[in-house]
Chain A
Amino acid sequence: MRGCGMNADITIDAKFTSCPGPLIALADAVGKAQPGQVVKLLATDPAAPSDVKEWAAGVGHRLIATEKSGDVWELYIEVSG
């Protein structure tokens, strides 16, 4: 699935913050979101795609797309019920 241009209900900009900044920001946003909503995380930390993938699998949310635009990762997470 293509990520670029995908619709997201919430966008979290965690660019230029290092681990664990992006994941903390994402977890906070996902915790406040409604089931079925898509949260988009923008991150420049090179560990973010892997960290988000592992975190999502562990807590039961779905990483539906991973894209990269320049140095910026765009990670799309669908919030589970």
Chain B
Amino acid sequence: MSKIALIVASEKMDKLFPAVTLATTAAISGWEAEMFFTFWGLLALKKGYQPSGVTLDYKAYEGKLNEALASGSIPGWKTVLEQGLATGRIRIYACSTTLGMFNLKQEDLESFVDSIAGAATFLSKAKGADVSLFIS
């Protein structure tokens, strides 16, 4: 079975959207998807998190994205992720180091987070992936 491994290191919309698009598309195509949320990416896993914009460098285009989201032509990142999670083929790991840095605990995170993990665990899960990306 094919596999995609994604490291998500940003909590901004312009980074979360491609990450979940690839993971969900992989999952509905029968692939396994392993997602490791680290550094600022971890913040996206906090309960009830709503992304608050795009990366500063691309702020000028934020209005375009908001328009597309408002019109429904681009689905929300959480909606896309939930469609992928429903397949049971996406696993989500929260970086233990970042969790500590923000003084967060697993109960502060969404229930779809599979586990708290370190680098060695994620490497083991991601090993042999056909597609590997660091999204930051």
Contact = CB atoms under 8 A, between A and B. Distances in A.
A58 interface: yes
Interface bracket on A: 10 to 19
Interface stretch (B5-13, B68-76, B98-106, B118-126): B68-76
26 contacts: A16-B71, A16-B72, A17-B72, A17-B73, A17-B75, A18-B68, A18-B74, A19-B21, A20-B25, A20-B75, A20-B80, A21-B73, A21-B75, A23-B25, A23-B28, A24-B24, A24-B28, A24-B75, A24-B83, A27-B28, A28-B83, A55-B28, A58-B29, A58-B30, A59-B29, A59-B30
Interface string B16-49: 0000010011001110000000000000000000
Interface of A: 16-21, 23-24, 27-28, 54-55, 58-59
- SS class, residues of chain A in contact with chain B: helix
A16 B80 contact: no
Given A24-B80, A58-B29, A18 B24 contact: no
Interface bracket on B: 10 to 19
Contacts of B74: 17-18, 21
Nearest to A27: B28
Given A17-B74, A21-B75, A24-B80, 6 more contacts: A16-B72, A18-B73, A18-B74, A23-B25, A28-B83, A54-B29
